[in-house]
Amino acid sequence: MTTAPRRRRGRSVPFTRQVNRSIVAAMVAVSAITLCLFAATGVARIVQQTQESALRLAQTVAETPQVREAAEAESDRSTPSTDAQLVAGTLDDYARAIESRTGALFVVVTDDTGRRLAHPNPDEIGDPVSTSPDAALRGEETVSWERGTLGDSARAKVPIYGLDDPERVVGEVSVGLPPSEVWATALSDALAVAVATALALAVGWVLAAFITRRLRQKTLGLEPEELLELVHDQQAVLQGVGDGVIGLSPDDVVTVCNERAAELLGLAGPVGRPVREAITDAGVLACLDEPRDEPLVVNGRLVYVDVHVVRRDGQELGRVVIVRDVTAVDDLTRRLTAVGTLASALREQRHEFANRIHVVTGLVRAGETTEALAYLDQVGEHGPVRFPIERAELIAEPYLQAFLGAKALEAERRGVALRVGPDADVTGSLRHPEDVTTVLGNLVDNGIEAAAASAREPRWVEVEALRHGDELHLSVMDSGDGIGAATGGIDLAQADAVSTDARLGSAVEPGSEAAQGPEPEPEPAPVPAPVPARGPEPAHGHGIGLRLSAEVARRHGGELRLAKGRTERHGAVFVARMEHQFDDEDGR
């Protein structure tokens, strides 16, 4: 069942659209601030340039001999000229000519008292200037932005020095340039900046649309609160399930790995690494390339690896790898199988024992006492049930006897004879019969498979069981082709759980070649891949049963080892040792 992320009610604008608008608004704000700063600095720069132009024009006028002579003459007059005389004079005409040639707003000339000698408005000639002439009359040159009778202007004031006495200030020249020149220049410059800003905004809007589209694709159209919910749900699911979960991106990089997956596969810091670097087990990597329905043995555990492709709206988002640990289930299955085998054997014993009781009862009632006693002696010698197994009386432990009897029936159906070795000796009662039958049953099953698959005749499996104190030593040998007799077979990684100490130990059956022959003791070696059978399934249990049997033996302080891979007379020999299997030592 899949569930869609919960969406908040009342939301009108999607997050990606909010991001788009925020980006555009930020660009507009930055552009506006930039434009305002440019306008302020540009206007200040243009005003300064205009004032400098006015200053140069005023200096030029003040250096003109005609202006200096007229200002000096007027300053030296004891009786100032009348306004009419000044208007009719040539100085005002000269000033107006300068205005027309330069486009100046005004050119004003005064005497040393600040009285106008030339002015654009004839009515103002002869009157004092509207702004203070003191700085210029002191010999200083000034520039400013001021308002006079003709309005705002960028004006410059410079002193006029006399011709006869060049050190004497005889008047001033005031030149003003109209603000229209300032604004015209500022607007022409601002127009280019405005066009560039508009283009930048257009490009920014396109990029913002692209960014929001990519954001929508990357987030699959989910809103922030939905992503937060997904993260919370993901962590709850990943850490709450008992299976291992690994998330892979489309390019096979590990994006998610819960603690259970790291524990089962033995991973250290896998997130952010390519999957083939993070996971080193060849079987798991093979499942990623080609999913299979077979269990794998990884780090001593039996696991299933399931791979699922994740898609949304037709887009492949990656893969999810589920690692399920079935070790306990498989162990329980084997235990139940062993118990079922024992139960079947006990049912057969009960049925056979009832039949033999009927025989004895019939003989006694018929007065055939001698025949009844002979029959009972025969039953005592062979046991209550005559299983197709040689030397079964050497194993007096009831669980093992019944178990091997049931296995002998299975082997007989496969054309294989199951027998007990001549040196077997087990008495008392097992403390953990399920675990013992799990180990022994797996070895016997593998031996039957190997013998049935082999061309050797006769086909047989020999079991040695020896009690030593509270320890139980087991040995299983078959007539098969042995381990390593053929090429191919099962991957060695699936059978490497069996102890790599393959030396011949005390648990090797006393009557086998491993105990009798003069061959030197082999060096420790890892268990090779089992031999593939000629039937539909390979012999020796795919290595998975060996791994679990070895784990069971280790839990009981023992081990499972390969004593021999093969010889000319028999196939593989496996030995096992398990401690604390009997309630008492019975003097042993």
Average pLDDT score over residue span 461-480: 92
Residue 493 clears pLDDT 50, i.e. is over it: no
Rounded distance between C-alpha atoms, residue 57 and residue 36, angstroms: 31
State pLDDT tens for residues 295-346. 787 877 788 888 888 887 777 888 888 888 887 777 777 777 767 766 776 7
pLDDT of residue 352: 72
> Which pLDDT band, with edges at 50, 70 and 90, does 11 fall under?
low
From CA 226, how far away is CA 431, in angstroms rounded?
Answer: 57
Q: Helices (H), strands (E): how many in the chain?
A: 16, 16
Q: What is the pTM for the complete model shown?
A: 0.45
Residue 499 phi/psi, 5° resolution?
-50, 130
CB atoms closer than 10 angstroms to residue 406 = 25
For residue 578, pLDDT beyond 90: yes
Is 284's pLDDT higher than 50?
yes
**Alpha carbon distance 465, 393 (integer Å):** 12
CA 334 to chain centre: 38
Per-residue confidence band for 45, with pLDDT thresholds at 50, 70 and 90? confident
- The closest alpha carbon to 34, from 190, 185, 141, belongs to 190
- 398: exposed, middle or buried (Cβ count in 10 Å: 0-12, 13-18, 19+): middle
Q: Which two tokens mark 293?
A: 């329905």
- The position carrying tokens 């009719």 is 88
Neighbours of 435 (CB within 10 A): 21
Across 13-22, 274-283, 316-325, 439-448, least confident range:
13-22
Identify any residues that bridge with 389 across adjacent strands, giving them in sequence order.
418
Torsion of CA 513, 519, 523, 526, to 10 degrees: -30
What value does the mean pLDDT of the chain take?
77
For 443-462, how does the pLDDT look when each residue is reduced to its tens digit (9 = 90+)?
999 999 999 998 888 999 99
Q: How much is the pLDDT for 219?
A: 72
Res 537: pLDDT: 39
Burial 128-163 (b: 16+ CB within 10 A, else e): ebebebeebbeeeebbeebebebeebbbbbbbbbbe
* Pairwise CA distance, residues 388 & 409, whole Å: 7
pLDDT interval class at 158 (50, 70, 90): very high
| Size of the chain, expressed as the number of residues it contains | 588
What pLDDT is attached to residue 525?
A: 37
Q: Output 85 or 237, whichever has higher pLDDT.
A: 85
Summarised one tens digit per residue, pLDDT across range 510-555 is: 333 333 333 333 433 333 333 333 333 344 444 557 877 888 888 8
